[in-house]
Amino acid sequence: MRYLPHTDEDIRTMFDAIGVKDFEDLFRTVPKSCRYDKEMALPEPKTEWDLDKYMSEIQSMMGVTPEHNVLIGAGRYQHHIPSSIPYVLGRSEFLTAYTPYQPEMAQGTLQGLFEYQTLTARLLGVDAANASMYDGASALAEALLMGLRVARKKKRVAMSAAIHPHFREVVYTYFHPTEFEIIELPFLEDGRTDFSALAGEEGLAAVAVQSPNFFGVVEDMEAAAEAIHGAGALYVAAFSEPMAFGMLKSPGSAGADIVCGEGQSFGMPTSFGGPGLGMFGCKKKYIRNLPGRLVGETTDLDGNRGYVLTLATREQHIRREKATSNICSNQGICTITAAMYMASLGGSGLRKLAKLNFDKSEYLKNGLQDAGGTLCFSSPTYNEFVVEFKDDFRPVQKRLLEQKIVAGLSLAKYYPGFDNRYLFCATETASKDVLDTVISEVKK
């Protein structure tokens, strides 16, 4: 059934208001040569039940279904989602809320964002966090642009080659039409970033390093801070798995000036790659250059607690093209979801879950080594690791896929010379039986 909210009278009134006769007149500015004047080649309409059946048939054709066990991370991670989250999130107060264009009318939305900011700032070890960004990749690009705003006259930034390839591609896309230069720092044989390349580099505004990086390797963040600050640049700490900070030292406490990354792991399904959540925070002294919106707590004239969009001088209606609050909101649902997830687990719960993820991945890592695989990097890892096989791993992948297990991401297309090197991931969703099956198939 079609839902057309506007009656013929409503449409006539709108046409009269804008001075057009009909729909054809509405599109008169579009040249006829640019219009599609044929009937749309659409199938016959289906009933609701036929449509459900059709969608189920399409789902059965997918190479990977919800019944599959996925042992690939690379920026999107399978985690159990507490049933309380979709239940509470489904309430109309949250589900219909989008962005606080009229802050005084959206106290519930603002409070949810404020709680998210508070929890994010604690997790990342920063003084302030914004009300989220679109995803981890765009957050990294915005972080580097923020570094250039802080540094003002500097025109160069650097980022580690061990940062997620998709994140780096987004950065290059952002920077392509600008005058700014990007340099890439190589990584060492142990999988960590080589900061010796910073020696002699001048005019660097910011340097970005991801930890755990794309290979799952945990970077020496204090050493990174020392090297980057020694080069006169801001330290941008990126991440794709925030779960790691339940176990590892937070980036802010390790010396990072700006922290940004992907928050999908916190209560959001992988959903074929999206939507995501850009988590972003910084030291207090850089807060006026922070992109995105900030929610603050205050009191009204009667002394009642309330929430507002704060530091409004950063907004577009005041600073125009110089505004740093250039993103009104992420999908607000993702932000509230992450806040619910962090609040549900709490600090101790997050630590336990992070340790469980670490233990699962270490079990798989050791098992693959015993089965003949070779670890490519000697540095400590979290959740993910890279293994090289003497023989072609693709037949093993095929056998595993027949058992509904998706294991190993080939790195050949991301890094030259990485033929037969595969990235594996194990989270709390992977059972011991599944991990043992992978290991036994590699042994064959």
Dump pLDDT digits (tens) for 318-344: 777 777 765 655 568 899 999 999 999
Kindly tell me if the per-residue pLDDT of 109 is higher than 90: no
Cα gap 409→406, rounded to integer Å: 9
| Reported confidence tier of residue 1, pLDDT bands at 50, 70, 90 | very low
From the list 278, 167, 255, 264, the residue with the least C-alpha distance to 214 is 167
Cα gap 407→426, rounded to integer Å: 10
Q: Are 316 and 406 contained in the same domain?
A: no
Cα gap 42→31, rounded to integer Å: 25
Q: Are 255 and 127 contained in the same domain?
A: yes
The token duo for 203 is: 């005019």
The number of C-alpha atoms within 13 Å of 240 and in the hemisphere containing its C-beta is 28
Q: Are 319 and 374 contained in the same domain?
A: no
Residue 217 within any structural domain of the chain: yes
CATH number, residue 331: 3.40.640.10
CATH number, residue 398: 3.90.1150.10
Residue 423 within any structural domain of the chain: yes
pLDDT at 60: 82
Q: Are 256 and 386 contained in the same domain?
A: no
Please state, as a whole number, how many other Cβ atoms lie within 10 Å of the Cβ of residue 176: 9
From the list 288, 295, 286, 294, the residue with the least C-alpha distance to 323 is 288
Indicate the residue among 297, 317, 341 that finishes a domain: 341
Which residues, including other chains, have CB under 8 Å from residue 121's CB and lie 6 or more apart? Answer: 127, 128, 129, 281
Residue 39 within any structural domain of the chain: no
Kindly tell me if the per-residue pLDDT of 422 is higher than 80: yes
Indicate the residue among 341, 372, 391 that finishes a domain: 341
Residue 75 within any structural domain of the chain: yes
Q: Are 236 and 319 contained in the same domain?
A: yes
Indicate the residue among 341, 364, 386 that finishes a domain: 341
Residue 358 within any structural domain of the chain: yes
Residue 23 within any structural domain of the chain: no
Kindly tell me if the per-residue pLDDT of 3 is higher than 80: no
Q: Are 77 and 99 contained in the same domain?
A: no
pLDDT digits (tens, 9 = 90+) for 216-256: 999 999 999 999 999 999 999 999 999 999 999 999 999 99
Give the chain's domain count: 2
Give the domain range for residue 280.
Answer: 84-341
Tell me what the mean pLDDT of segment 420-436 comes to. 97
Q: Are 361 and 312 contained in the same domain?
A: no
Give the Å distances, CA to CA, from 346 to 310, 339, 425, 427: 27, 10, 24, 19
Kindly tell me if the per-residue pLDDT of 32 is higher than 60: yes
Q: Are 74 and 90 contained in the same domain?
A: no
Residue 24 within any structural domain of the chain: no
Residue 282 within any structural domain of the chain: yes
Tell me what the mean pLDDT of segment 367-383 comes to. 96
Kindly tell me if the per-residue pLDDT of 187 is higher than 60: yes
Tell me what the mean pLDDT of segment 9-38 comes to. 91
Q: Are 112 and 240 contained in the same domain?
A: yes
Give the Å distances, CA to CA, from 11 to 7, 18, 19, 22: 6, 11, 12, 9
Q: Are 375 and 336 contained in the same domain?
A: no
Chain-wide mean pLDDT for the chain?
91
Contact 324, 289 (CB under 8 A): yes
pLDDT at 311: 82
Q: Are 336 and 353 contained in the same domain?
A: no
Q: Are 177 and 227 contained in the same domain?
A: yes
Q: How far is CA 344 from the centre of its chain?
A: 20
